[in-house]
Structure 1
Amino acid sequence: MNQGIGVMGLYVRDQDEALQFYVGKLGFQVHTDVRNGDYRWLTVHHPEQPSLQLGLFKPQAPVLDDATAQTVREIVAKGAMPPLVLNVNDCRGTYERLRAQGVEFTQPPEERYGNVDANFRDPSGNGWKMIESRRPA
């Protein structure tokens, strides 16, 4: 039976740094943090969406060989991965709060297509689009 997506993986260069960013700055909560040797399964979730976990994974063995892991780290650092989308009630207010906490924005809030959106990056280079929808549901 198909019940939906449980974990979406995101490659990060340093899991402790990513944990500090996602929990300390964005307000996510830790769901799972377990180790098996050098491998760490680390997931967080948004407090209003606990059924969808965001996996903060290092590109490393046993999933990737060394050369592929290095390539993935370079691609992520360049911001070349597709952006994730964070829905917010107040884009401008959230922008000011996150910016004051040191979040790196690549685009301030702008109105377009009936929404207000802004872009930011996590410490590894992963892009996020933060959207306040103003369209009627």
Structure 2
Amino acid sequence: MDDFPTGAVELTQLLVVSDLDRSRAFYCNVLGADVHREYGGTSLVLQFQGVWLLLVTGGGPTEDKPSVTFAPPPDPDVVSHQLTMRVPDCQAAYEILRGRGAKFLTPPHDRGGEIRCFFRDPDGHLLEISEIPDGSA
């Protein structure tokens, strides 16, 4: 296929959650995501900063993925995935998110070329806010 990817391709980030209502509250009320669509009480499509987030409850194999089981992270301290949000002011974002109920591992740390800190969603998915002090990406 010579025309892949095209401008019509959109990326969706899938996160497996244990409680859809609790996750909806976190992503909408703490992070400010908007609900786009819900499917049968087992999945929820959110729009967040130009990215599609698909929250799904766990489940076993299906015809199109016969050996795959979806499950929330079993151990929040072992990470194979995280969402990073680049922000203009890490300290200010930290204070806002903390005020909305986000539980951070530590306050922001200045690592020289980056100021960052981490928090988790209700299922333990790791999230990061990060500032590049000189404004470069």
TM-score range, shorter chain: 0.7 to 0.9
TM-score (ref. length: structure 1): 0.79
- The answer to whether the 8 Å contact 1:109/1:117 transfers is yes
1:109 alignment partner AA = P
Query: Counting strand residues as a fraction of each chain, which structure ranks higher?
Result: 1
Query: Counting helix residues as a fraction of each chain, which structure ranks higher?
Result: 1
| Structure ID, larger Rg | 2
Q: Extract unaligned runs of 5+ from structure 2.
A: none
Structure 2 distance, partners of 1:14, 1:24, is 15
Structure 2 distance, partners of 1:60, 1:22, is 21
Structure 1 distance, partners of 2:77, 2:59, is 18
User: Which residues in structure 2 correspond to 1:1-137 (within 5 Å)?
Assistant: 1=3, 2-3=5-6, 4-35=9-40, 40-46=42-48, 48-49=49-50, 52-61=51-60, 63=62, 68-69=69-70, 72-75=71-74, 77-78=76-77, 80-137=79-136
- The answer to whether the 8 Å contact 2:29/2:100 transfers is no
4+ residue runs over 6 A deviation? none
Deviates more, 1:95-104 or 1:123-132: 95-104
Q: Extract unaligned runs of 5+ from structure 1.
A: none
Identity in percent: 28
Q: CA deviation at 1:116?
A: 1.0
**Residues 110/89 of structure 1: CA separation in 2 closer, same or farther (3 Å cut):** same
TM-score (ref. length: structure 2): 0.79
